[in-house]
Amino acid sequence: MESGAEAFLSMRTADGRTLGYHKMGSGPVLVCHPGGPGFSSLYFGDLAGLWERFTLVLLHPRGTGTSGRPKDPRAYQIEDYVSDVEELRVHLGLERLLLLGHSHGGVVALAYAARHPGTVERLVLASTLARFGEPQQEAMREGMDKRSGQPWYPDAVAALEEEQEGKFSSDEELAQLTFRELPLYFAHYGAAEAGYLDTLKAETLNADALKLFNKEIFERFDLRGELGAITAPTLVITGEEDFICGPVCAEEIASGITGAKKVIVGDAGHMIFIEQPEEFEREVADFLEESTA
Protein backbone atom coordinates (compact mmCIF):
# COMPACT_ATOMS: atom_id res chain seq x y z
CA MET A 1 0.00 0.00 0.00
CA GLU A 2 1.10 3.58 -0.51
CA SER A 3 2.96 5.40 2.24
CA GLY A 4 0.46 6.76 4.74
CA ALA A 5 -2.46 4.90 3.13
CA GLU A 6 -5.27 4.11 5.51
CA ALA A 7 -8.27 1.80 5.29
CA PHE A 8 -10.95 0.22 7.46
CA LEU A 9 -11.32 -3.38 6.36
CA SER A 10 -12.98 -6.57 7.53
CA MET A 11 -13.14 -10.31 6.99
CA ARG A 12 -15.68 -13.04 7.64
CA THR A 13 -14.74 -15.65 10.23
CA ALA A 14 -15.45 -19.36 9.93
CA ASP A 15 -18.43 -19.02 12.28
CA GLY A 16 -19.90 -16.14 10.28
CA ARG A 17 -18.80 -13.11 12.32
CA THR A 18 -17.34 -9.92 10.91
CA LEU A 19 -13.80 -9.28 12.15
CA GLY A 20 -12.73 -5.71 11.47
CA TYR A 21 -9.34 -4.05 11.42
CA HIS A 22 -7.79 -0.68 10.66
CA LYS A 23 -4.86 -0.75 8.25
CA MET A 24 -2.42 2.16 8.04
CA GLY A 25 1.15 2.92 7.03
CA SER A 26 3.68 1.17 4.84
CA GLY A 27 6.41 -1.41 5.23
CA PRO A 28 6.36 -4.86 6.86
CA VAL A 29 2.97 -5.86 8.29
CA LEU A 30 2.65 -5.59 12.08
CA VAL A 31 -0.54 -7.09 13.53
CA CYS A 32 -1.55 -5.29 16.73
CA HIS A 33 -4.03 -6.60 19.32
CA PRO A 34 -5.45 -4.10 21.85
CA GLY A 35 -6.45 -4.75 25.42
CA GLY A 36 -9.45 -4.60 27.68
CA PRO A 37 -10.87 -7.02 26.94
CA GLY A 38 -13.74 -5.12 25.41
CA PHE A 39 -11.80 -2.29 23.74
CA SER A 40 -11.25 -1.78 20.01
CA SER A 41 -7.99 -0.51 18.55
CA LEU A 42 -9.19 3.09 18.73
CA TYR A 43 -7.02 3.81 21.77
CA PHE A 44 -3.85 2.86 19.86
CA GLY A 45 -4.14 6.01 17.72
CA ASP A 46 -1.16 5.85 15.36
CA LEU A 47 0.73 3.69 17.86
CA ALA A 48 3.49 6.23 18.52
CA GLY A 49 4.12 6.74 14.82
CA LEU A 50 4.99 3.12 14.07
CA TRP A 51 2.89 3.42 10.90
CA GLU A 52 5.80 5.35 9.36
CA ARG A 53 7.92 2.19 9.41
CA PHE A 54 5.33 -0.60 9.34
CA THR A 55 1.95 -1.41 7.86
CA LEU A 56 -0.13 -1.55 11.02
CA VAL A 57 -3.05 -3.97 11.09
CA LEU A 58 -4.92 -2.75 14.17
CA LEU A 59 -7.37 -5.49 15.02
CA HIS A 60 -10.78 -4.79 16.49
CA PRO A 61 -11.21 -7.86 18.72
CA ARG A 62 -14.49 -9.73 18.63
CA GLY A 63 -17.39 -7.61 19.79
CA THR A 64 -15.57 -4.26 19.54
CA GLY A 65 -15.36 -1.53 16.93
CA THR A 66 -16.38 -2.90 13.54
CA SER A 67 -16.17 -6.54 14.68
CA GLY A 68 -19.38 -8.45 15.30
CA ARG A 69 -20.29 -9.89 18.66
CA PRO A 70 -20.38 -13.67 18.98
CA LYS A 71 -23.81 -15.15 19.62
CA ASP A 72 -22.50 -16.76 22.80
CA PRO A 73 -21.86 -14.08 25.48
CA ARG A 74 -19.24 -16.40 26.97
CA ALA A 75 -17.20 -16.65 23.76
CA TYR A 76 -14.51 -14.29 25.04
CA GLN A 77 -12.05 -16.85 26.38
CA ILE A 78 -8.34 -16.46 25.68
CA GLU A 79 -8.52 -19.30 23.17
CA ASP A 80 -11.34 -17.53 21.31
CA TYR A 81 -9.17 -14.47 20.77
CA VAL A 82 -6.25 -16.69 19.75
CA SER A 83 -8.45 -18.33 17.14
CA ASP A 84 -9.36 -14.93 15.70
CA VAL A 85 -5.68 -13.98 15.35
CA GLU A 86 -5.03 -17.20 13.44
CA GLU A 87 -7.96 -16.54 11.11
CA LEU A 88 -6.71 -13.01 10.54
CA ARG A 89 -3.21 -14.30 9.70
CA VAL A 90 -4.65 -16.64 7.08
CA HIS A 91 -6.89 -13.88 5.70
CA LEU A 92 -3.90 -11.54 5.33
CA GLY A 93 -1.95 -14.23 3.50
CA LEU A 94 0.95 -14.07 5.96
CA GLU A 95 3.07 -17.16 6.51
CA ARG A 96 4.56 -15.58 9.65
CA LEU A 97 3.49 -12.60 11.74
CA LEU A 98 5.11 -9.66 13.36
CA LEU A 99 2.75 -9.54 16.34
CA LEU A 100 2.25 -6.92 19.04
CA GLY A 101 -0.16 -7.25 21.94
CA HIS A 102 -0.90 -4.62 24.58
CA SER A 103 -2.41 -5.38 28.02
CA HIS A 104 -5.07 -8.09 27.52
CA GLY A 105 -3.95 -8.13 23.91
CA GLY A 106 -0.53 -9.13 25.20
CA VAL A 107 -2.11 -12.08 26.98
CA VAL A 108 -3.65 -13.09 23.65
CA ALA A 109 -0.39 -12.56 21.75
CA LEU A 110 1.55 -14.58 24.33
CA ALA A 111 -0.93 -17.46 24.11
CA TYR A 112 -0.97 -17.29 20.32
CA ALA A 113 2.83 -17.38 20.05
CA ALA A 114 2.97 -20.38 22.40
CA ARG A 115 0.27 -22.31 20.56
CA HIS A 116 1.30 -21.34 17.00
CA PRO A 117 5.09 -21.01 17.32
CA GLY A 118 5.75 -21.56 13.63
CA THR A 119 3.69 -18.57 12.54
CA VAL A 120 5.26 -15.79 14.66
CA GLU A 121 8.38 -14.11 13.32
CA ARG A 122 8.80 -11.58 16.13
CA LEU A 123 6.70 -10.86 19.18
CA VAL A 124 6.16 -7.68 21.21
CA LEU A 125 4.46 -8.05 24.59
CA ALA A 126 3.61 -4.57 25.84
CA SER A 127 2.27 -3.74 29.30
CA THR A 128 0.96 -7.23 29.90
CA LEU A 129 1.15 -10.18 32.28
CA ALA A 130 1.19 -13.98 32.34
CA ARG A 131 -0.94 -14.23 35.49
CA PHE A 132 -2.31 -12.12 38.32
CA GLY A 133 -0.99 -13.71 41.49
CA GLU A 134 0.22 -12.38 44.82
CA PRO A 135 3.38 -10.64 43.46
CA GLN A 136 1.25 -8.81 40.90
CA GLN A 137 -1.37 -7.92 43.52
CA GLU A 138 1.29 -6.48 45.81
CA ALA A 139 2.81 -4.43 42.97
CA MET A 140 -0.65 -3.16 42.07
CA ARG A 141 -1.31 -2.02 45.64
CA GLU A 142 2.05 -0.26 45.78
CA GLY A 143 1.44 1.44 42.45
CA MET A 144 -1.93 2.68 43.55
CA ASP A 145 -0.51 3.98 46.84
CA LYS A 146 1.93 6.15 44.86
CA ARG A 147 -1.06 7.93 43.34
CA SER A 148 -3.03 8.29 46.57
CA GLY A 149 -2.29 12.00 46.94
CA GLN A 150 -3.97 12.95 43.67
CA PRO A 151 -7.39 14.66 43.83
CA TRP A 152 -8.92 12.17 41.40
CA TYR A 153 -7.63 9.13 43.31
CA PRO A 154 -10.62 8.26 45.56
CA ASP A 155 -13.08 8.29 42.67
CA ALA A 156 -10.73 6.35 40.38
CA VAL A 157 -10.21 3.63 42.98
CA ALA A 158 -13.93 3.39 43.67
CA ALA A 159 -14.60 3.01 39.94
CA LEU A 160 -11.86 0.38 39.55
CA GLU A 161 -13.32 -1.66 42.39
CA GLU A 162 -16.82 -1.47 40.94
CA GLU A 163 -15.53 -2.49 37.53
CA GLN A 164 -13.52 -5.44 38.86
CA GLU A 165 -16.50 -6.59 40.92
CA GLY A 166 -18.70 -6.51 37.80
CA LYS A 167 -21.00 -3.77 39.07
CA PHE A 168 -22.16 -2.76 35.61
CA SER A 169 -24.96 -4.11 33.49
CA SER A 170 -24.47 -2.39 30.14
CA ASP A 171 -21.82 -1.10 27.78
CA GLU A 172 -22.71 2.44 28.83
CA GLU A 173 -22.29 1.75 32.54
CA LEU A 174 -18.94 0.11 31.87
CA ALA A 175 -17.79 3.15 29.89
CA GLN A 176 -18.70 5.48 32.75
CA LEU A 177 -16.67 3.41 35.21
CA THR A 178 -13.74 3.03 32.83
CA PHE A 179 -13.24 6.73 32.21
CA ARG A 180 -13.35 7.40 35.95
CA GLU A 181 -10.62 4.84 36.66
CA LEU A 182 -8.29 5.51 33.72
CA PRO A 183 -6.23 8.24 35.46
CA LEU A 184 -4.65 5.38 37.44
CA TYR A 185 -3.15 4.01 34.24
CA PHE A 186 -0.80 6.96 33.66
CA ALA A 187 2.42 7.82 35.46
CA HIS A 188 1.19 11.43 35.52
CA TYR A 189 -2.38 12.46 34.81
CA GLY A 190 -2.85 16.02 33.57
CA ALA A 191 -4.38 18.04 30.78
CA ALA A 192 -2.63 16.16 27.96
CA GLU A 193 -3.72 12.76 29.28
CA ALA A 194 -7.28 14.01 29.85
CA GLY A 195 -7.33 15.30 26.29
CA TYR A 196 -6.23 11.91 24.99
CA LEU A 197 -9.03 10.19 26.91
CA ASP A 198 -11.57 12.65 25.51
CA THR A 199 -10.74 11.35 22.03
CA LEU A 200 -11.83 7.86 23.10
CA LYS A 201 -15.26 8.69 24.47
CA ALA A 202 -17.00 7.72 21.24
CA GLU A 203 -15.82 4.16 21.88
CA THR A 204 -18.49 1.54 22.63
CA LEU A 205 -17.03 -0.85 25.18
CA ASN A 206 -18.07 -4.50 25.36
CA ALA A 207 -19.43 -5.21 28.83
CA ASP A 208 -19.87 -8.95 28.15
CA ALA A 209 -16.17 -9.42 27.40
CA LEU A 210 -14.86 -7.55 30.43
CA LYS A 211 -17.39 -8.96 32.89
CA LEU A 212 -16.48 -12.53 31.91
CA PHE A 213 -12.77 -11.74 32.19
CA ASN A 214 -13.09 -10.11 35.61
CA LYS A 215 -15.36 -12.79 37.07
CA GLU A 216 -13.82 -15.96 35.70
CA ILE A 217 -10.41 -15.35 34.14
CA PHE A 218 -8.43 -12.46 35.64
CA GLU A 219 -7.39 -13.99 38.95
CA ARG A 220 -7.27 -17.59 37.69
CA PHE A 221 -5.45 -17.63 34.37
CA ASP A 222 -1.80 -18.60 34.42
CA LEU A 223 0.25 -18.74 31.21
CA ARG A 224 3.63 -19.29 32.84
CA GLY A 225 3.60 -22.89 31.69
CA GLU A 226 3.30 -21.77 28.06
CA LEU A 227 6.21 -19.33 28.04
CA GLY A 228 8.75 -22.03 27.22
CA ALA A 229 6.87 -22.91 24.03
CA ILE A 230 7.48 -19.46 22.54
CA THR A 231 10.27 -19.66 19.98
CA ALA A 232 9.95 -16.23 18.36
CA PRO A 233 12.38 -13.49 19.38
CA THR A 234 10.43 -11.53 21.97
CA LEU A 235 10.45 -7.98 23.31
CA VAL A 236 8.79 -7.49 26.70
CA ILE A 237 8.21 -3.78 27.31
CA THR A 238 6.36 -1.94 30.06
CA GLY A 239 6.26 1.33 31.95
CA GLU A 240 8.19 1.69 35.19
CA GLU A 241 5.07 3.20 36.79
CA ASP A 242 2.51 0.80 35.31
CA PHE A 243 0.51 -0.14 38.39
CA ILE A 244 -1.12 -3.26 36.95
CA CYS A 245 1.28 -4.70 34.34
CA GLY A 246 4.59 -3.20 35.43
CA PRO A 247 8.15 -4.46 35.98
CA VAL A 248 7.13 -7.43 38.16
CA CYS A 249 4.97 -8.74 35.33
CA ALA A 250 7.58 -8.03 32.66
CA GLU A 251 10.31 -9.82 34.61
CA GLU A 252 8.17 -12.93 35.07
CA ILE A 253 7.39 -13.11 31.36
CA ALA A 254 10.92 -12.34 30.14
CA SER A 255 12.49 -14.88 32.47
CA GLY A 256 10.31 -17.62 31.01
CA ILE A 257 10.98 -16.96 27.31
CA THR A 258 14.38 -17.99 26.01
CA GLY A 259 16.38 -14.97 24.88
CA ALA A 260 13.61 -12.44 25.55
CA LYS A 261 14.59 -8.78 25.70
CA LYS A 262 13.09 -6.77 28.57
CA VAL A 263 12.71 -2.98 28.44
CA ILE A 264 11.38 -0.88 31.31
CA VAL A 265 10.40 2.60 30.14
CA GLY A 266 10.92 5.29 32.75
CA ASP A 267 8.28 7.88 33.63
CA ALA A 268 5.52 5.85 32.00
CA GLY A 269 2.50 3.94 33.18
CA HIS A 270 0.29 1.50 31.31
CA MET A 271 -0.13 3.67 28.20
CA ILE A 272 3.55 3.82 27.24
CA PHE A 273 2.92 4.58 23.57
CA ILE A 274 1.06 7.74 24.67
CA GLU A 275 3.26 8.70 27.61
CA GLN A 276 6.69 8.03 26.07
CA PRO A 277 5.99 7.68 22.34
CA GLU A 278 9.51 8.32 21.07
CA GLU A 279 11.11 5.69 23.30
CA PHE A 280 8.31 3.20 22.64
CA GLU A 281 8.57 3.68 18.87
CA ARG A 282 12.35 3.39 18.90
CA GLU A 283 12.49 0.26 21.04
CA VAL A 284 9.72 -1.55 19.16
CA ALA A 285 10.80 -0.55 15.65
CA ASP A 286 14.47 -1.34 16.22
CA PHE A 287 13.57 -4.73 17.66
CA LEU A 288 11.21 -5.63 14.82
CA GLU A 289 13.54 -4.41 12.10
CA GLU A 290 16.23 -6.81 13.23
CA SER A 291 14.21 -9.40 11.33
CA THR A 292 13.46 -7.27 8.28
CA ALA A 293 16.80 -5.61 7.55
Instruction: Work out whether the CA dihedral 284, 107, 138, 173 comes out positive or negative.
Output: positive
pLDDT of residue 1: 36
Strands 97-102 and 120-126: parallel
pLDDT digits (tens, 9 = 90+) for 197-250: 999 998 999 999 999 999 999 989 999 999 999 999 999 999 999 999 999 999
User: Alpha-carbon distance 133 to 69, whole Å?
Assistant: 30
pLDDT confidence bin for 2, thresholds 50/70/90 = very low
Separation CA 139–CA 127 (nearest Å): 14
pLDDT for res 6: 86
Burial 82-114 (b: 16+ CB within 10 A, else e): bbbbebbbebbebeebbbbbbbbbbbbbbbbbb
Which of helix, strand or coil describes residue 261? strand
What does the H/E/C string look like for 72-87? CCCCCCHHHHHHHHHH
* Amino acid at the residue 248: V
Question: What phi and psi values does residue 242 have, to the nearest 5 degrees?
Answer: -70, 115
Q: How far apart are the first and last CA of the chain?
A: 19
What pLDDT, in 10s, does the model give residues 86-138? Answer: 999 999 999 999 999 999 999 999 999 999 999 999 999 999 999 999 999 99
Taking residues 171-184, what's their average pLDDT? 97
pLDDT tens digits along 17-64? 999 999 999 999 999 999 999 999 999 999 999 999 999 999 999 999
**According to the CATH classification, is domain 6-138+223-289 in 1.20.1740.10?**
no
User: Residue ranges of the domains in the chain?
Assistant: 6-138+223-289
Peptide bond before 37: cis, by omega within 30 degrees of 0? yes
Listed in sequence order, the DSSP H helices in 74-168 are 78-92, 104-115, 134-146, 153-164
